[in-house]
Chains A and B, each alone.
Chain A
Amino acid sequence: MRIALFITCFNDTMFPRTGRAVTALLERLGHTVEFPQGQTCCGQMHFNTGYRPEALPLVRRFAEVFAGYDAVVAPSGSCAGMVRGHHRVVAAQYGDPALAEAVDRVVPTVYELSELLVDVLGVTDVGAYFPHRVTYHPTCHSLRMLRVGDRPLQLLRAVKGIDLVELPDAGSCCGFGGTFALKNADVSNAMLSDKMRHVQDTGAEFLCAGDNSCLAHIGGGLSRLRTGVGTLHLAEILAATEGHTR
């Protein structure tokens, strides 16, 4: 299968290791990964903060750059959610029928990583090895926008050597919320402190999630308090194999 990787602007800049992990994982499973160099950003920050005209060129670019692939994979629940949930809204609002058509064509090919693996590629055991205690935080947009359900957990449970522990109150938001973390910094911190407490209660070495933006928020707090708990994107655990792990 010819799969385009939509790395997302945030991962591209801050967490390229996640992109390399997705590439390694999909190639290990026998698929061809392509990285369209024209890609930039899904426009989520602009759309969710109220800057729709500024999101329009990004929506247009996405539809152009990612047209024609068997599948497009994004290692981010919220960016995949933005494309699937809101690109049509932006295209419709600015009354451009050609763009709306292009968006309609590309949207059904876009998957979050766990969706691609479980639903499209039909695999839950990806042959990973990760001998560590891990807890999983189901990020809000994966859970309630994309409805990925327990797909990430199916994938993690099949990882060899992993000690997967349940995160208490897992479904509640970590308090990141994009620009919310800046506009409502105090509430964001109040939510963050509860999430960090739950993570630490599990005794996990690593907190895993399908979205590096939520992880940067929770992990940033865990790092500031020197908890020693690390954060890892789902792709990085799934890409780890015997002999190639941390």
Chain B
Amino acid sequence: MSGADNVVWLGAPAFPEAARGALADTRLRANLRRATGTIRDKRLAVTAELEDWEELRETAAAVKRHTLRHLDHYLLRLEEAVTAAGGTVHWAADAAAANRIVTELVRATGEREVVKVKSMATQEIGLNEALADAGIRAYETDLAELIVQLGDDRPSHILVPAIHRGRSEIREIFRREMGEWGRPAPDTLTDDPRDLAEAARLHLREKFLRAKVAVSGANFAAADTGTVVVVESEGNGRMCLTLPETLITVMGIEKVLPAFADLDVFLQLLPRSSTGERMNPYTSLWTGVTDGDGPSSFHLVLLDNGRTATLADEVGRQALACIRCSACLNVCPVYERTGGHAYGSVYPGPIGAVLTPQLVGVENAASLPFASTLCGACYDACPVKIDIPEVLVHLRAEVVEAERRSRLLPTPEALAMKAASAVLSSPRRLAAVQRLAVLGARLLSRDGRIGALPGPFARWSGTRDTPVPPRESMRAWWRRTRTGTRDEGRTETEGKERR
């Protein structure tokens, strides 16, 4: 269990309920359809052109599996290497500890503001809020994170946090909010993407040039050299990572790689999977501190926050291999229609549905493992081959077991499942229920189909007709035509006797 953080948003409704509102939001649906469709096509084009794409995926999965198996070893090596290169390593068991460490480090510099590179780990721990409580202002410098921050909003996508916003909304936000935080947007601001980007550039330039402290996440860290890597597209990261005097990096412990050479594989997989680009625009790598070049003080905060517990789950631990590319979000038919906020977590989409319940405990995110049709598109898209459907059904079983333990009386669903299992455990009982179903269905049907029904059946029948089951089941037909007896399912061992 983690502390107070953003892994799950306090008071967020369960997925089905949150999804209902999202589905009715015409602008959101249009924004999502356009954005996910575009990224999806780009990704397909650039992954199809690599002959060794499958080998790259296999290799990446193997490296991640190996690293997670020896995580303790590689984390200590990383600490050694970072320290030797002049950095300082801090260990944070949970969000509260990480926030405390970062807050104290910023305080020690005497500064009251920091610039930030887009980072899931700091979103996860709610760092901006913790810094604000300590009187420190954190400025997001990634364009989409800036849109989210200025809009007092929440990210809805791992890579494109403002994917739910269209450009006219962004213009409104910039016009309204930029002046509150620094250089205002020009009065002549249009919703042309170039215009919006220019306004953000001027607004942010002021922050970059003034900042003495930067906070970042990390995409990778090489345990052998102590090199930390940030992959970004806008150059804002490069500014944050090189201009300020102090750099504080918060990194989930699962991000470590055994060796610098492993980047070879991951830097091919990540841009193609995330933005659909062959090569990433700004890849910043740094090893500790260097005199006269970049920050003179570097702190690496290694964050657990539920990861060790996740590592203990033999099936679920593969979720820790995630490199946060978002390919699974972009291909997910559920995410495409609901957007990220419905997941009520900083980690939305298919990867969120398997990661979030593990980080906070399944009972605190019980609807998420069910927020999938198990269509498998996410597994096919995942560059590190996380079998998301496998983890989803594994976590569903954990949710059901947790319910069984916490309740005196079984849920109606549990009773129905038990009854179904009893019926299906016996061909004789199945045949009897089939005969009942035919009778019941005939009572409810009109013109050979069953229309809208009240009560618990409405969820299905509200939008779908159901055919009336025919009088003769398959097993009854077989017995009548092939064995010359009409009394179906007489003995349970019949199947064995017949062979």
A1-17: CB near B (< 8 Å → 1, else 0) gives 00000010101111011
Cβ-defined contact, B374 with A37, below 8 A? no
Q: Does B290 contact A (CB under 8 A)?
A: no
Cβ-defined contact, B414 with A51, below 8 A? yes
> Complex Cα distance A189/B333, Å?
12
A37-57: CB near B (< 8 Å → 1, else 0) gives 111110101111111101101
Which of A150-158, A170-178, A233-241 lies at the binding interface?
A170-178
> Complex Cα distance A52/B390, Å?
13
Cβ-defined contact, B19 with A13, below 8 A? no
Cβ-defined contact, A216 with B338, below 8 A? no
Q: Does B399 contact A (CB under 8 A)?
A: yes
Cβ-defined contact, B424 with A144, below 8 A? no
For residue B261, give the distance in angstroms from its CB to the closest CB of chain A. Answer: 33
> Complex Cα distance A64/B414, Å?
26
> Complex Cα distance A54/B420, Å?
9
> Complex Cα distance A16/B438, Å?
13
What count of chain A residues pass the 8 Å CB interface test?
69
Residue from A37, A40, A171, A182 in contact with B424 in the complex, judged by beta carbons closer than 8 Å: A40
> Complex Cα distance A46/B451, Å?
26
For residue A166, give the distance in angstroms from its CB to the closest CB of chain B. Answer: 17
For residue B155, give the distance in angstroms from its CB to the closest CB of chain A. Answer: 21
B126-150: CB near A (< 8 Å → 1, else 0) gives 0000000000000000000000000
> Complex Cα distance A34/B483, Å?
11
Known contacts A34-B498, A37-B427, A184 near B371 by CB under 8 Å: yes
- Chain B residues lying within 8 Å of A217, measured Cβ to Cβ, are 464
Name the prevailing secondary structure of the B interface residues.
helix
Known contacts A16-B473, A37-B479, A64-B496, A184 near B449 by CB under 8 Å: no
For residue B265, give the distance in angstroms from its CB to the closest CB of chain A. Answer: 24
- Chain B residues lying within 8 Å of A37, measured Cβ to Cβ, are 427, 475, 478-479, 488-489, 494-495, 498
Known contacts A39-B495, A141-B376, A144-B376, A185 near B478 by CB under 8 Å: no
Cβ-defined contact, A187 with B474, below 8 A? no
Q: Does B286 contact A (CB under 8 A)?
A: no
> Complex Cα distance A54/B413, Å?
12
For residue A173, give the distance in angstroms from its CB to the closest CB of chain B. Answer: 4
Q: Does B234 contact A (CB under 8 A)?
A: no
Q: Does B65 contact A (CB under 8 A)?
A: no
Known contacts A58-B421, A224-B463, A36 near B495 by CB under 8 Å: yes
Cβ-defined contact, A184 with B462, below 8 A? no
User: Chain A residue with minimal CB distance to B476?
Assistant: A16
Cβ-defined contact, A49 with B374, below 8 A? no
For residue B491, give the distance in angstroms from its CB to the closest CB of chain A. Answer: 8
- Chain B residues lying within 8 Å of A45, measured Cβ to Cβ, are 417, 420
> Complex Cα distance A223/B470, Å?
17
Residues of chain B in range 350-400 having any CB-CB distance to chain A below 8 Å = 369-377, 379-380, 393, 396-400
For residue B143, give the distance in angstroms from its CB to the closest CB of chain A. Answer: 29
- Chain A residues lying within 8 Å of B460, measured Cβ to Cβ, are 181-182, 185, 220
- Chain A residues lying within 8 Å of B493, measured Cβ to Cβ, are 38
Cβ-defined contact, B370 with A183, below 8 A? yes
User: Chain A residue with minimal CB distance to B338?
Assistant: A187
Known contacts A36-B495, A38-B496, A46-B420, A180 near B373 by CB under 8 Å: yes
Q: Does A123 contact B (CB under 8 A)?
A: no
For residue A25, give the distance in angstroms from its CB to the closest CB of chain B. Answer: 15
> Complex Cα distance A14/B434, Å?
9
Cβ-defined contact, A38 with B338, below 8 A? no
For residue A38, give the distance in angstroms from its CB to the closest CB of chain B. Answer: 3
Cβ-defined contact, A68 with B499, below 8 A? yes
Q: Does A140 contact B (CB under 8 A)?
A: yes
- Chain B residues lying within 8 Å of A189, measured Cβ to Cβ, are 463
Cβ-defined contact, B463 with A55, below 8 A? no
- Chain B residues lying within 8 Å of A187, measured Cβ to Cβ, are 16, 19, 23, 334, 337-338, 371
For residue A23, give the distance in angstroms from its CB to the closest CB of chain B. Answer: 8
Cβ-defined contact, A11 with B467, below 8 A? no
> Complex Cα distance A175/B430, Å?
27
For residue B395, give the distance in angstroms from its CB to the closest CB of chain A. Answer: 8
> Complex Cα distance A48/B394, Å?
9
- Chain A residues lying within 8 Å of B16, measured Cβ to Cβ, are 183-187
For residue B88, give the distance in angstroms from its CB to the closest CB of chain A. Answer: 45
For residue B453, give the distance in angstroms from its CB to the closest CB of chain A. Answer: 12
> Complex Cα distance A11/B460, Å?
18
Residues of chain A in range 184-221 having any CB-CB distance to chain B below 8 Å = 184-192, 216-217, 219-221
For residue B28, give the distance in angstroms from its CB to the closest CB of chain A. Answer: 12
> Complex Cα distance A181/B488, Å?
32
For residue A126, give the distance in angstroms from its CB to the closest CB of chain B. Answer: 21
Q: Does B437 contact A (CB under 8 A)?
A: yes
- Chain A residues lying within 8 Å of B375, measured Cβ to Cβ, are 140, 144, 172-173, 177
Give the residue among A49, A86, A177, A221 with the most B Cβ atoms within 10 A: A49
Q: Does B210 contact A (CB under 8 A)?
A: no
B403-436: CB near A (< 8 Å → 1, else 0) gives 0000000000110011011001111001000100
Q: Does A105 contact B (CB under 8 A)?
A: no
Q: Does A61 contact B (CB under 8 A)?
A: yes
Q: Can you report 25 residue pairs joining A to B where beta carbons are below 8 Å apart?
A: A16-B472, A19-B474, A20-B474, A35-B475, A37-B427, A37-B475, A37-B495, A38-B492, A39-B495, A45-B420, A48-B374, A48-B393, A50-B401, A51-B421, A65-B495, A173-B375, A180-B374, A182-B459, A183-B16, A186-B19, A191-B333, A192-B463, A221-B463, A221-B464, A224-B463
Known: A50-B369, A58-B421. 5 other contacts (CB 8 A): A12-B434, A41-B424, A57-B421, A144-B376, A216-B466
Residues of B within 8 A of A (CB): 15-16, 19-20, 23, 333-334, 337-338, 369-377, 379-380, 393, 396-401, 413-414, 417-418, 420-421, 424-427, 430, 434, 437, 449, 451, 459-460, 462-467, 469-470, 472-479, 482, 488-489, 492-496, 498-499
**Top 7 A-B residue pairs of the complex, sorted by shortest distance between their CB atoms:** A38-B495, A220-B464, A177-B373, A50-B396, A36-B495, A144-B376, A50-B400
